[in-house]
């Protein structure tokens, strides 16, 4: 399977594109960066889409920004920068060249793309739902709290705030390791913010 990420493609999931480098329906690149082949769409949000991709036999996730206003682009680029700087089992890995742009055929608006590690497992909202929202043990609560604090300490050490911590943004790997995802709302700690906190 090869999926076309051009938002205006009339048939993005065309099976006939399986081994193509160019989409037969819209003429856009299918083999992104001569490396990534999009396998299927995973999700769709207000500002972008997520896809499962193949990178030389390794499954990863591709986030594509569909909103092209300057603020959305700035936040997307900031997410790419933050994730590429952080190295932890509790944060999705992004390689230095994980951020790039793609220009669909007959379009003057580039698509901003970010490739990251695919986290196996479920988010904590899904995990709690499966368990009918039963309470967790004290040991498990302390273990999870310790993991989240360690992840946030790493983020804060790089002078960033996550700003969107919720069960849907915390993945649970099969190993029991928590992973904080969705760094789209991350904000760099600035003098203005710190002054505001101190004054309060």
For the residues 35-46, what does the mean pLDDT come to? Answer: 87
Q: Is 171 a residue whose pLDDT tops 90?
A: yes
pLDDT band for position 192 (cuts 50, 70, 90): very low
Is the model's pLDDT at 162 over the cut of 80? no
Average pLDDT on 48-68 reads 91
- CATH top-level class of 15-117: alpha beta
Which residue spans within the chain are E strands per DSSP? 31-32, 36-44, 48-55, 58-65, 99-102, 111-117, 122-123, 160-161, 170-172, 178-180, 187-188
Q: What is the pLDDT of residues 94-141, one digit of tens each?
A: 988 899 999 999 888 899 999 999 999 999 999 999 999 999 999 999
Domain boundaries of the chain, sorted by first residue: 15-117, 122-199
**pLDDT value, residue 83:** 84
pLDDT surpasses 80 at 191: no
Cross-strand partners of 41: 51
Catalytic residues: 164
CATH top-level class of 122-199? mainly alpha
| Of the candidates 131, 128, 161, the residue with the CA atom closest to the CA atom of residue 144 | 128
C-beta of residue 122 within 8 angstroms of C-beta of residue 115? no
Q: 71: buried, middle or exposed (CB in 10 Å: 19+, 13-18, 0-12)?
A: exposed
């Amino acid at each position: 399977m090869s999926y076309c990420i051009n938002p205006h493609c009339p048939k993005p999931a065309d099976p006939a594109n399986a081994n193509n480098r160019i989409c037969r329906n819209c003429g856009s690149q299918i083999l992104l960066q001569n490396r990534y082949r999009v396998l299927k769409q995973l999700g769709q949000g207000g500002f972008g889409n997520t896809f499962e991709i193949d990178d030389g036999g390794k499954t990863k996730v591709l986030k594509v920004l569909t909103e092209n206003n300057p603020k959305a682009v700035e936040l997307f680029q900031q997410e790419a920068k933050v994730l590429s700087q952080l190295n932890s089992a509790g944060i999705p890995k992004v390689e230095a060249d994980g951020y790039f742009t793609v220009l669909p055929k007959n379009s003057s608006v580039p698509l901003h793309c970010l490739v990251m590690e695919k986290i196996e497992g479920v988010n904590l909202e899904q995990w709690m739902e499966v368990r009918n929202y039963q309470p967790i043990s004290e040991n498990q609560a302390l273990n999870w709290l310790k993991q989240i604090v360690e992840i946030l300490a790493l983020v804060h050490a790089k002078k960033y705030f996550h700003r969107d911590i919720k069960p849907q943004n915390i993945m649970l790997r099969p190993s029991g390791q928590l992973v904080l995802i969705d760094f789209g709302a991350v904000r760099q700690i600035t003098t203005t913010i710190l002054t505001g906190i101190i004054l309060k």
